[in-house]
Amino acid sequence: MRMLFLGDVMGRAGRSAVAARLPGLRADWALDFVVINGENATSGVGLSPDHARELLAAGADCLTLGDHAFDQKEMLSFIETEPRILRPLNYARTAPGRGARVFAGPGGRKVLVAQALGQVFMKRPFDDPFSAVDAVLRAHPLGGAVQAALIDIHCEATSEKMGMGHWCDGRASLVVGTHTHVPTADVQILPGGTAFQSDAGMCGDYNSIIGMDKLEPMRRFVTGMGKERFSPAAGEATLCGTLVETDDRTGLATRVRMVRVGGRLESAVP
């Protein structure tokens, strides 16, 4: 299968770029399955039902969230009605929705998608992501119950993300990081056959501070005092993500590429 994962969609700039470019990429690159992290799509904080519908209509098969999962309060109920949206596996036990699901891909192939939150440098402590992901992978063996497995590891520390990559090596098709909003240049296939990238990067305007208009974050860094709320930067977004090709028999990666399309960053296309 050929699958595309796009990192955190940041505000209107990110949503517009997804809407404008994804339908064409889906056809041009013959994508079988697309996952988008949508945790910042609505004003940079959370995902509203309307914006979730927009991303799904543009060609996403699944939307993942993150620490901002329920910043838009309507998501608390909407996630129960829209099975294509996943929140982190190890979010609060009482959280609505699910952290993993098996999706029907083309030709009857089954695709597992799961997301977990890291513990290092995150604002609040979440349950152990390693045991949470382990349980899901054991329940859905690659090359058996599912033909592909994509893990979104949403965390701050590259070390923890790499730990998750190696923890899942040979058991997932792709482990990709989200949350830092900057693409890392370490895309590779790990020794056991799992494709890995520490962070997919954001789909947002890179003339910014991690997608936010740069003035207010700079003011806080320089003076230690806030004046206004953060708002997403509005310039043209770069779509950033990871493209992985897998062997249907084993579910393991045969090829992986960084993707950067549009906006300020150097282009990278498979």
The answer to the question of residue 71 lying near Fe ion (CB under 5 A) is no
For position 232 contacting Fe ion by CB under 5 A, the verdict is no
Complex with Fe ion: residue 210 or 256, whichever CB lies closer: 210
Would residue 68 show up in a list of annotated catalytic residues for this protein? yes
Query: To the nearest whole angstrom, how small is the minimum distance from the Cβ of residue 215 to Fe ion?
Result: 20
- Residue 8 lies near Fe ion (rule: CB under 5 A): yes
* Cβ neighbours around 21 below 10 Å, total: 19
Q: Tokens at residue 255, please?
A: 């090829």
Rounded Cα distance, 102 and 70, in Å: 22
Closest CA to 263 of 239, 227, 231: 239
Give, in degrees to the nearest 5, the angle at Cα 248 between 245 and 249. Answer: 135
Half-sphere exposure of 41 (CA within 13 A, CB side): 30
- Answer yes or no whether residue 205 interacts with Fe ion by CB under 5 A: no
Q: Report the residue from 12, 51, 87, 179 that binds Fe ion according to the rule CB under 5 A.
A: 179
Q: Among residues 11, 66, 105, 232, which is the contact residue for Fe ion, using CB under 5 A?
A: 66
Choosing from 51, 68, 154, 181, which is the catalytic residue? 68
Interface segment toward Fe ion; rule CB under 5 A; list 7-15, 45-53, 74-82, 224-232: 7-15
Residue 201 touches Fe ion, criterion: CB under 5 A = no
- Residue 8 or residue 169: which is nearer to Fe ion going by CB? 8
67 binds Fe ion (CB under 5 A): yes
Q: Radius of gyration over alpha carbons of the chain, in Å?
A: 17
User: Based on CB atoms, which residue is closest to Fe ion, 40 or 208?
Assistant: 40
Using CB under 5 A as the binding criterion, the count of chain residues that bind Fe ion stands at 6
- In the sheet with 2-6, reading across from the earlier edge strand, the strands are 85-86, 62-64, 33-37, 2-6, 239-246, 253-261
Does residue number 40 form part of the binding site for Fe ion (CB under 5 A)? yes
157 vs 189 by CB, closer to Fe ion: 157
Is there binding between residue 241 and Fe ion (CB under 5 A)?
no
Interface segment toward Fe ion; rule CB under 5 A; list 108-116, 172-180, 237-245, 262-270: 172-180
Which of 39/169 has CB closer to Fe ion? Answer: 39
Binding status of residue 161 toward Fe ion by CB under 5 A: no
CB of 122 to Fe ion, least distance (A): 9
Under rule CB under 5 A, residue 87 binds Fe ion = no
For Fe ion, the closer CB: 46 or 59: 46
The nearest distance, CB 42 to Fe ion, in angstroms, is 12
Catalytic residue numbers?
68
Binding stretches for Fe ion (CB under 5 A): 8, 39-40, 66-67, 179
